[in-house]
Amino acid sequence: MPLPSFTIVTPCLNGAATLREALDSVREQAYPAEIEHVVVDGGSTDGTLEILEEQQQAAGEARLRYLSEPDRGLSDAVNKGIRMARGDVIGWLNADDVYQPGALARVGKAFAERPEALWATGPCLIVGADGEEIRGAVTRYKNLFLRRYSYRLHLVQNFVSCPSTFVRRDAFDRIGMLDERFKYSMDYDLWLRLGRLQPPLLLHEPLAAFRMAEGSLSMTGFERQFAEHAQNAREHGQGHPLAVGLNRLTSRLIVAIYRAMRRFRTRADGAAS
C-alpha cells in the first residue's frame, strides 16, 4: 500500500518563543510522501505572524499554510485546521511541542501496513522549557498503560498523548469534530470516540515531546481538567460502570496529590525566604 500523506495542525496564540522549534520538527521529517503543515493562529501580537510569513516563504504554500483570526478557543482552532486539511492522516501538534526525528515515517509505515486503521498513537516525552526531558516517572507510568491499551482501561484514565496521536482524516466524518464544551479534555473525548470504533495502532518508540512549563497550569485549571476527564468517562462509559467509577476516584486522588504538592512547595518557599 502507498504511504499516506499528512496534515499537521498547529493551533497557536502568541507562540513566537517556541513556534520555530515546532515548525522545524515538522519540516525536518524525512518522509517520502507529502506533508503539509497548517497553523491556525488566534490573532497573535508577539511576532508569531512574522515567523509564519518567513517560514512560508521558505517552505512554500503547499508545505506550510496559516490562518490568523479570532477563535472560540483551542477546540475551534483545531477544528478549523482539520477542515483545511488535505492529507490522508492528521496530526495535532501544539506550538510548544515537537516531533521526534523519523516520527512521521514510522506512523506512515504503520498506516500503510494497516489501511483499515483509523488512528495510531505512541509514547510521548515530557520536556521542560529548555527542551530537556523531565518527569520521566510520569512518562513511564503512562507508557505502562499504553502498552496494555483497552477501551475499558482508557476509561479509567487518559494515557494517550495528543502530540503523538494521528487520525485518518475520513475518521472525522464518522466521529465528528472536537467538542467545544471542553476547555482541557477535548482530546480525551476524541480518543474515546475513536476507541469505541476500534483500538489504535500502537507504536513503541517516542513520537513527540510535550513541553511542560512548570507552574503553567493553575490549581483551578488543574481541577477543571480532571473534572472534564471524569465527565468524558461518564459520557462514553456505557457498559463500564467500574471503569467510570475508577476514573472519578483517580481524578480526585491526582488533584489531591497536586494540591498537597503545591502546599508543600509554598511552605518550603516561605521558609526559604
Q: Is the pTM of this model over 0.85?
A: yes
How many domains does the chain contain in total? 2
Decide if pLDDT at 264 tops 90: no
My answer on whether 257 and 153 are in the same domain is: no
**Same domain assignment for residues 179 and 231:** no
Q: Does one domain contain both 130 and 20?
A: yes
Helices (H) and strands (E) in the chain, counts: 10, 10
Whether 201 maps to a domain, the answer reads: yes
Does 78 score more than 60 pLDDT?
yes
| Residue 1 within any structural domain of the chain | no
Domain holding 179, by residue range, is 6-214
Identify whether residues 175 and 224 lie together within a single domain. no
pLDDT digits (tens, 9 = 90+) for 8-67: 999 999 999 999 999 999 999 999 999 999 999 999 999 999 999 999 998 888 899 999
Do 14 and 147 sit in the same domain of this protein? yes
Residue 4 near residue 36 (C-beta atoms within 8 A): no
Tell me the pairing of strands 89-92 and 165-168. antiparallel
The Cα-based distances of 33 to 3, 28, 44, 171, 249 in angstroms read 6, 13, 31, 20, 45
What is the arrangement of strands in the sheet containing 208-211, beginning at the earlier edge strand? 98-99, 208-211, 124-127
Whether residues 169 and 242 fall in one domain: no
| pLDDT tens digit sequence for 84-95 | 999 999 999 999
Same-domain check for residues 59 and 160: yes
Q: Are residues 163 and 230 in the same domain?
A: no
Q: Are residues 101 and 46 in the same domain?
A: yes
